[in-house]
Amino acid sequence: MTKSELKEKLKRKLGFPYVKVEVTDDQLEDSISDAIDKFCEFAIGNAVSEYYFTLPISAGISEYEMPKGITDIIDYEEGGYVSGINTLFTIENYFYSNGILNPDSFVNGNGLIGYQQALDFLETLARFTVDSYTYRFSRFDRKLSLTPVPDKNTYLLIRSYAYTGSFLNNWNWEDYVDKLCNEKWVQEYALALLKMNLGHIRRKFSNGSGSIGNVGITLDGSELLSEGKEEKDKLEEELDEKYAFDGYGISMGVM
């Protein structure tokens, strides 16, 4: 469903063409855009996914433009530091070789408690290890700023959130918006926002005088406003419970 098709569907949901719907095309656009923005902000793993990419940085340059589709920068790892179970002379590799991080070796006495203690130790070590840079990400212009200014050429492994599929070569925003317009939550949230907007408008005619195209029809401004707000609150609760990303659960097995 395209955005234009969704606009017509929303108008029909509000009673058009049987009754005049007192909303402009701009108000329809705003409601759909607000619904998409809300969905993308919270629906991590649905509208937005986690991506890793390498960013070359240069000495003397502190600001870098991020790829299209990036919505947030979560963390980074400096290229000069090597880690992981597949790299020799690292703490992770030592733990893995001794069965502490290897699920296959749980039966040898280390167990789940030792595994969790090792993870806690690595997390604490990472927390107290000083990073080379602090960073600030601007969503409006997709710029990443590093402090202090880099004094050498290196690279960063960036952990980010981005619109799902935006790292593919053929991705574009217009097609992505059309895809999100098929989401039931986006449709229902946009409708709830329109009901609230329309309710505010119709309350001005609550004395019983009909607007043009609604002669003889009693306008339901307050009721529509209340209905829209109730649906909006319910949908936001559903977004938090059903779509919001809570992190990955604990799993055991050979990777």
Q: What is the 3 state secondary structure string of the chain?
A: CCHHHHHHHHHHHCCCCCCCCCCCHHHHHHHHHHHHHHHHHHCECCCEEEEEEEEEECCCCCEEECCCCEEEEEEEEECCCCCCCCCCCCHHHHHHHCCCCCHHHHHHCCHHHHHHHHHHHHHHHHHHCCCCCEEEEECCCCEEEEECCCCCCEEEEEEEEEECCCCCCCCCHHHHHHHHCCCHHHHHHHHHHHHHHHHHHHHCCCCCCCCCCCCCCCCCHHHHHHHHHHHHHHHHHHHHHHHCCCCCCCCCCCC
66 and 93, same domain (yes or no)? yes
189 and 119, same domain (yes or no)? no
Q: Which residue has the higher pLDDT, 142 or 169?
A: 142
103 and 145, same domain (yes or no)? yes
Domain count, the chain: 2
Reported residue count of the chain is: 255
Q: Which amino acid is at 213?
A: G
**By residue range, what is the domain housing residue 223?**
3-45+173-243
Report whether pLDDT(180) > 90.
Answer: yes
Report whether pLDDT(144) > 80.
Answer: yes
Q: Comparing 28-42, 119-133, 189-203, which segment has the lowest mean pLDDT?
A: 119-133
**Highest-confidence segment of 69-83, 117-131, 231-245:** 231-245
119 and 185, same domain (yes or no)? no
Mean pLDDT value across residues 107-131 = 69
Identify the domain boundary among 106, 137, 163.
Answer: 163
**Residue 216: its pLDDT value, please?**
54
Q: Comparing 58-72, 107-121, 187-201, which segment has the lowest mean pLDDT?
A: 107-121
144 and 198, same domain (yes or no)? no
**Residue 109: its pLDDT value, please?**
53
Whether the full predicted model's pTM is greater than 0.75, yes or no, is no
Q: Which residue has the higher pLDDT, 159 or 251?
A: 159
89 and 131, same domain (yes or no)? yes
Does residue 40 form part of some domain?
yes
* pLDDT per residue as tens digits for the range 192-251: 999 999 998 888 776 555 555 555 555 678 899 999 999 999 999 999 888 765 544 433
**Percent of the chain clearing pLDDT 70 (strictly above):** 75
Q: Which residue has the higher pLDDT, 2 or 20?
A: 2
Give the orientation angle of helix 173-180 with respect to helix 25-42, to 10 degrees.
Answer: 90
Q: Which residue has the higher pLDDT, 8 or 113?
A: 8
